[in-house]
Copies of this chain bind each other. A is one copy, B any other.
């Protein structure tokens, strides 16, 4: 294997905490083979660290339903998957809309993803 692809690695930062961002920039600035991305530059990889707002208190069952919702499952499919009735699914979906402050299931999944409750 040649090492021609072993070019300089360019990293971009997406850090909410300014102090942490500064420390990382300092530390990484002195590493050979590494470079921080210029503004707008295409980076090899991105370092991400988001401030966690407050995590929402979701029950296990709500998390089950939410995960399936994010997969695009209908209430009927969720009911089959979890072995419960459609009514119960709707019940949990209703709770999720409430807790996630969403207007519909699409909004709920979007909010949950934004808040890191689920991973897309």
CB-nearest residue of chain B relative to A43? B49
CB pair A20 B9 closer than 8 Å:
yes
In the docked arrangement, what's the CA distance between A103 and B70, Å? 11
In the docked arrangement, what's the CA distance between A98 and B20, Å? 42
Query: Does A110 touch B at the CB level, under 8 Å?
Result: yes
A55: min CB distance to chain B, Å: 13
Contacting residue for A6 out of B9, B23, B31, B110, CB 8 A: B23
Query: Does A58 touch B at the CB level, under 8 Å?
Result: no
Q: What residues make up the interface of A, taking CB atoms closer than 8 Å to B?
A: 5-6, 9, 11, 15, 19-20, 23-24, 27-28, 30-34, 44-49, 69-72, 74, 102-111, 113-114, 120
